[in-house]
Structure 1
């Protein structure tokens, strides 16, 4: 690892303090008139997102110059630019420079890994568009298209677009041709950050991923902000942002609409905060699935605050397999507006996404200390609240405060609550049936 300048060290320390300590501050109990939305610290306001193309300069240490991919032979003419991008990355990484992908151009890449460690202040500024190579035979590992591996003190931004060109992959998915569930073949994740530290990803668009759009795997201290993620609502397994084995991550001011979860959070993730999220279409914001194949799961200190979900199949969801172990705890869903959402609030400890029926098990991932506060809107289905908890390991310390979910059209809404110990304060509708 290259030595850090004193300014970079100070930035890392301050960022770590903000990210690490901020999660343990109790959120206030909001009192509002509920007639308008979205919400901001107890008041309803009109949300103003930063301009999509505006670069946020959080890291103000002077860079060591810029490196353009064009200087290493990249051409926006439909050819594969993987070699040119690799050479440009090696130069930028070794110098601590800004790698520049020029605007108003489309560069095509085969599967590419940008590896660290790099000098501090290395950055990747995408002003144009990077398109995925469409020939499936080029993807030997079938897991990744673009990966940033083990890069620290790193910024990615610029207002450009990562285009996964996923249509061909979707057409070859069993989920596009058969009834769910099915055993799908691996497809590449569009952009993956693997074991990166002190990372900023801002002001970018991700579209039409082969599978997941943006993955943080094994990362530490992450800011992901001002992102737009788009794919058709029927595109299979195209999660927007996927968080795995990652600690201290803030996701904010982002618009996500895909064919799967807008945000998915799985085992090993701690201190996760998602704020000012617009979600739809998609499967909502999910923790899980957890505990598959009798595995142990650990998820803690998750806050979802100020989100609007429109036309999604789920709202806020926790899903676990029978037979797993471990825990998901200290979770808060705050100030959320649902519009025509099929399952607005759901805990499913009998999740079973496989061809064969899942057998009853005597173990489960323990769910505890989950708060639903100030959640309003409409349900597209009769069951607006569903707590389907394990008979062997019931859900405990489930708190509901000021939760009101009306029917989208005619009829009414109900809550089904199995094997759950809950406490409600303030307004709560629909209430659990005996």
Structure 2
């Protein structure tokens, strides 16, 4: 279904009741189910559910591999001044909601649900978009609750309940040449529960040059998260990358402030992991008031200590009010 302009709003699109996608992915000629394109002034709301029926596709999901796509259930392309609220999305074949080349977007009070083992089912993906706000939403999926990709500028994520899933991520960055920079990302007042990762910045090894600057993670509650705080400039989910070729994505001015709660003590890495590039030093990284403790009964299999640090840094600051498992 394609709803295409150019249209000058206000345009109101209401979803009431349950919408179910065809469960056969071969029935789709495009890499999405529903798409809104070239609309200025769009509201999508209602009490309904958008069910992507992705169960048949998950065992064969090749999102991002060999030309495979992430098949968002709800795609917004070149939409300005849009509001998406109160709807529920579930069981995406790939991403549940994606924003591309959009500006001045607000997402609020949405619910996104897929099983923890559903691959590449990011809740909300943002790319090459400006002034996007995600607020007061409940997201539990099989991948990132919110993923913020290249070209994202002035993005705010707040009051999100995330879990299960892979946490809230900036990236991955540096996979393709000529990616646009990421500037001004704020993640505040979120709870991340039972996820693989918490808050994360991820870039590919051997990447082209790029940058991500002006990032704030603040007031984040962790509940039994395996990797609560992570900068990963050796990101390679397929494990086939040559990590001796350093990432050339510059990470600068990142502040992680008031992160509290518990981590999974049986995870193989410490709760704060900073893997920076050996080519482009991480610059001005500030960790302030981090209090993370192992979940009761865990911890015997984890190397003791709070940090794993690797790569080059310029201006790493760790305020000493940090708790460890020792």
State the superposition RMSD in angstroms.
1.9
Q: Where does 1:6-405 land on structure 2 (aligned, <5 Å)?
A: 112-141=1-30, 143-173=31-61, 185-322=68-205, 323-354=207-238, 356-361=240-245, 364-380=248-264, 381=267, 383-405=270-292
Paired with 1:235 and 1:362, the residues of 2 have a C-alpha distance of 30
**Kindly tell me: are residues 415 and 191 of structure 1, through their superposed partners in 2, closer, same or farther at Cα, counting changes over 3 Å?**
same
Aligned length: 314
Query: By how many angstroms is 1:185 displaced?
Result: 3.5
Asked if structure 1 preserves the Cα contact closer than 8 Å seen for 2:87 and 2:109, the reply is yes
Paired with 1:119 and 1:370, the residues of 2 have a C-alpha distance of 38
Higher helix proportion: 1
Query: By how many angstroms is 1:422 displaced?
Result: 1.0
1:415 aligns with 2:307: yes
Paired with 1:120 and 1:185, the residues of 2 have a C-alpha distance of 34
Query: By how many angstroms is 1:206 displaced?
Result: 0.4
**Match of 1:149, SS?**
strand
TM-score (norm 2): 0.91
Paired with 1:379 and 1:355, the residues of 2 have a C-alpha distance of 24
**Match of 1:376, SS?**
strand
Asked if structure 1 preserves the Cα contact closer than 8 Å seen for 2:70 and 2:120, the reply is no
Q: Deviations over 1:370-427 (max 9, x none)?
A: 0011100111135100000011111110011111111113435420112234112251
Paired with 1:174 and 1:259, the residues of 2 have a C-alpha distance of 14
Paired with 1:354 and 1:209, the residues of 2 have a C-alpha distance of 22
Asked if structure 2 preserves the Cα contact closer than 8 Å seen for 1:406 and 1:413, the reply is no
Asked if structure 1 preserves the Cα contact closer than 8 Å seen for 2:24 and 2:56, the reply is no
Query: By how many angstroms is 1:159 displaced?
Result: 1.5
Q: Deviations over 1:1-20 (max 9, x none)?
A: xxxxxxxxxxxxxxxxxxxx
**Match of 1:122, SS?**
strand
Paired with 2:294 and 2:239, the residues of 1 have a C-alpha distance of 32
Paired with 2:8 and 2:56, the residues of 1 have a C-alpha distance of 38
**Match of 1:429, SS?**
coil
Asked if structure 2 preserves the Cα contact closer than 8 Å seen for 1:364 and 1:393, the reply is yes
Asked if structure 1 preserves the Cα contact closer than 8 Å seen for 2:9 and 2:39, the reply is no
TM-score (norm 1): 0.69
Paired with 1:393 and 1:119, the residues of 2 have a C-alpha distance of 44
Query: By how many angstroms is 1:325 displaced?
Result: 1.2
**Match of 2:219, SS?**
strand
Paired with 1:216 and 1:374, the residues of 2 have a C-alpha distance of 29
**Kindly tell me: are residues 228 and 388 of structure 1, through their superposed partners in 2, closer, same or farther at Cα, counting changes over 3 Å?**
same
Identify the residue that residue 319 of structure 2 maps to in structure 1: 425
Structure 2: which 5+ residue stretches go unaligned?
none
**Match of 1:235, SS?**
coil
**Match of 1:232, SS?**
coil
Identify the residue that residue 79 of structure 1 maps to in structure 2: none
